Protein backbone atom coordinates (compact mmCIF):
# COMPACT_ATOMS: atom_id res chain seq x y z
CA UNK A 1 0.00 0.00 0.00
CA UNK A 2 1.27 3.44 -0.95
CA UNK A 3 1.72 6.15 1.66
CA UNK A 4 0.01 8.91 -0.29
CA UNK A 5 0.58 12.54 0.59
CA UNK A 6 -2.30 15.02 0.37
CA UNK A 7 -2.45 18.79 0.25
CA UNK A 8 -5.19 21.12 1.45
CA UNK A 9 -6.01 24.53 -0.04
CA UNK A 10 -8.49 27.11 1.25
CA UNK A 11 -11.12 28.39 -1.21
CA UNK A 12 -14.19 30.62 -0.91
CA UNK A 13 -17.12 29.81 -3.17
CA UNK A 14 -20.01 32.21 -3.70
CA UNK A 15 -23.58 31.79 -4.88
CA UNK A 16 -26.80 33.79 -5.02
CA UNK A 17 -28.79 30.54 -4.61
CA UNK A 18 -27.79 28.62 -1.46
CA UNK A 19 -24.93 27.74 0.89
CA UNK A 20 -24.61 24.27 -0.65
CA UNK A 21 -24.41 25.85 -4.11
CA UNK A 22 -21.57 28.13 -2.99
CA UNK A 23 -19.61 25.02 -1.98
CA UNK A 24 -20.28 23.40 -5.35
CA UNK A 25 -19.11 26.52 -7.19
CA UNK A 26 -15.83 26.54 -5.26
CA UNK A 27 -15.21 22.88 -6.06
CA UNK A 28 -16.17 23.29 -9.70
CA UNK A 29 -13.71 26.18 -10.14
CA UNK A 30 -10.88 24.40 -8.34
CA UNK A 31 -11.39 21.25 -10.43
CA UNK A 32 -10.40 23.21 -13.55
CA UNK A 33 -6.80 23.53 -12.37
CA UNK A 34 -6.37 20.90 -9.64
CA UNK A 35 -6.60 17.17 -10.21
CA UNK A 36 -7.30 14.34 -7.80
CA UNK A 37 -9.67 16.33 -5.57
CA UNK A 38 -10.76 14.00 -2.76
CA UNK A 39 -12.68 15.83 0.00
CA UNK A 40 -13.73 19.22 1.35
CA UNK A 41 -14.28 20.63 4.86
CA UNK A 42 -16.47 23.67 5.54
CA UNK A 43 -14.53 26.33 7.46
CA UNK A 44 -16.94 29.26 7.54
CA UNK A 45 -20.33 30.29 6.16
CA UNK A 46 -21.15 33.95 5.66
CA UNK A 47 -22.70 36.24 3.08
CA UNK A 48 -23.49 39.75 1.92
CA UNK A 49 -26.94 41.32 2.39
CA UNK A 50 -29.13 43.59 0.29
CA UNK A 51 -32.66 44.87 0.91
CA UNK A 52 -33.09 42.70 4.02
CA UNK A 53 -32.26 39.45 2.25
CA UNK A 54 -29.21 37.32 1.46
CA UNK A 55 -27.55 38.74 -1.63
CA UNK A 56 -24.65 36.30 -1.92
CA UNK A 57 -23.70 33.19 0.06
CA UNK A 58 -19.94 32.94 0.74
CA UNK A 59 -18.63 29.62 2.03
CA UNK A 60 -14.97 29.02 2.89
CA UNK A 61 -13.88 25.41 2.45
CA UNK A 62 -10.66 23.46 2.58
CA UNK A 63 -10.09 21.19 -0.40
CA UNK A 64 -7.96 18.04 -0.07
CA UNK A 65 -6.26 16.42 -3.04
CA UNK A 66 -3.62 13.77 -3.71
CA UNK A 67 -0.16 15.07 -4.59
CA UNK A 68 1.14 13.36 -7.70
CA UNK A 69 4.40 11.58 -7.13
CA UNK A 70 6.26 13.12 -10.03
Residues that bind a copy of itself (CB under 8 A): 1, 3-16, 18-20, 22-32, 37-42, 44-49, 51-54, 56-57, 60, 62-64, 67, 69
Task: Please report how close the Cβ of residue 2 comes to a copy of itself at its closest, in angstroms.
Answer: 8
Alpha-carbon distance of 33 to 64, in angstroms, equals 14
Task: Please report how close the Cβ of residue 35 comes to a copy of itself at its closest, in angstroms.
Answer: 10
| Closest residue by Cα to residue 6 from 70, 68, 66 | 66
CB 43 within 8 A of CB 60: yes
Task: Please report how close the Cβ of residue 21 comes to a copy of itself at its closest, in angstroms.
Answer: 8
Alpha-carbon distance of 41 to 16, in angstroms, equals 21
Amino acid sequence: MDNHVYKKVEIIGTSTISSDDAIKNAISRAAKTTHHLRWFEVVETRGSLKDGDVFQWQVTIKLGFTMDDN
